Amino acid sequence: MQYKSSILTWLRSDGRHFQIIAQISFLLYGVLLLGWDADWRNYLAIFSGVLLCQALAIRFAGYPIDSMKSAAITGLGLSLLMKANDPWLYLFAAMMAIGMKFISKVNGKHLWNPANFGIVMAALLSGDAWISPGQWGSSAVIVFIVGTAGLAVLSNIKRLETGVAFLLTFASLDYARTVLYLGWENDVYLLKLSSGSLWLFSFFMITDPMSTPNNRKLRIVWAIAVGCISFYLASFKFVNGAPFWTLFFLTPLTPLLDSISKNQLSFSWKRSSTQPSTNH
């Protein structure tokens, strides 16, 4: 019992611990059970890029050693959501993701979610990288796994309402169009919402505490806006990975929202920390 209690205490001591374990589980699920084409060179490129860039920041910019946890989260996010035709593009995305964190900060927060920035920049600049929602299939099992783990993670880092607000907005608008307006079967609607990448986005990307507004009410409004625009782009412009593109263009509004908010408290991953967090 004492051993189990120690593990639980360790998990709860830092919101990144459970997130890393959950993402590793998703990656293993994809490789071992979904039969992903897992080229080891791609994963080597990703983790070499994120860990090397983070190590340089630790060495020359004074970032704490445990910021490596955040780099690992970014690397896992790229591994789970990005597809490309060349290992060098994975390395490029990884370096862009980590590099962005140290050159585009406002009041200690990122202008973009690192993994989101790396994926979008690789897609924009190369044309040979893309967001891959289809690799997860539509299994209800993966939705349950991602959703449950996501809820557990976000309950620990106090950003649960952000993912829920986005998902409810996107799902409600899609239901109104797919079922009520077009008259399609509920099975079609559920199939559209059972993408693993949508759930990963909802519970692991849009909820990034270092790139979302500090104020809870403004954060909910912001998440609803992401949901509305994502629905429009996906349904009427047929944009692949619409939520990821929407997040990329709306996240830079976070400093503006923080500036008009009375809540100026900085987020800290560690429960015991009382100082503004710089370790992401």
Same domain, residue pair 50 and 129: yes
Same domain, residue pair 27 and 84: yes
* 30 assigned to some structural domain: yes
Give the three-class secondary structure for 24. Answer: helix
* 265 assigned to some structural domain: no
Q: What is the mean pLDDT of residues 68-86?
A: 94
Same domain, residue pair 116 and 149: no
* 247 assigned to some structural domain: yes
For residue 87, CA distances in Å to 80, 104, 111, 115, 128 come to 15, 26, 26, 16, 11
Beta carbons of 157 and 15 less than 8 angstroms apart: yes
Q: What percent of the chain shows pLDDT beyond 70?
A: 88
228 pLDDT band, cuts 50/70/90, is very high
Q: What is the pLDDT of residue 271?
A: 60
* 75 assigned to some structural domain: yes
Same domain, residue pair 59 and 30: yes
Q: What is the pLDDT of residue 30?
A: 87
**Which structural domain range is residue 192 located in?**
138-259
Query: DSSP string covering 124-187, please?
Result: HHHSSEEE-SGGGTT-HHHHHHHHHHHHHHHHHHT-HHHHHHHHHHHHHHHHIIIIIIS---HH
Amino acid identity of 221? V
102 pLDDT band, cuts 50/70/90, is confident
> Which of 81 and 10 is assigned the larger pLDDT?
81
Same domain, residue pair 73 and 115: yes
* 2 assigned to some structural domain: no
At 165, phi and psi to the nearest 5? -60, -45
**What's the pTM value of the predicted model, to 2 decimals?**
0.88
Q: What is the pLDDT of residue 253?
A: 92
Q: What is the pLDDT of residue 276?
A: 41
265 pLDDT band, cuts 50/70/90, is low
> Which of 242 and 273 is assigned the larger pLDDT?
242
Same domain, residue pair 100 and 157: no
* 194 assigned to some structural domain: yes
Question: For 38-67, where are the alpha helices, taking DSSP H only?
Answer: 40-61
Q: What is the mean pLDDT of residues 51-64?
A: 91
Average pLDDT score, the chain = 86
- pLDDT at residue 137 above 80? no
Same domain, residue pair 125 and 196: no
d(CA 82, CA 28): 15
Same domain, residue pair 116 and 143: no
Same domain, residue pair 96 and 165: no
Q: What is the pLDDT of residue 261?
A: 77
For residue 68, CA distances in Å to 64, 75, 81, 98 come to 8, 10, 20, 11
Structural domains in the chain (count) = 2
Same domain, residue pair 156 and 100: no
* 215 assigned to some structural domain: yes
* 5 assigned to some structural domain: no
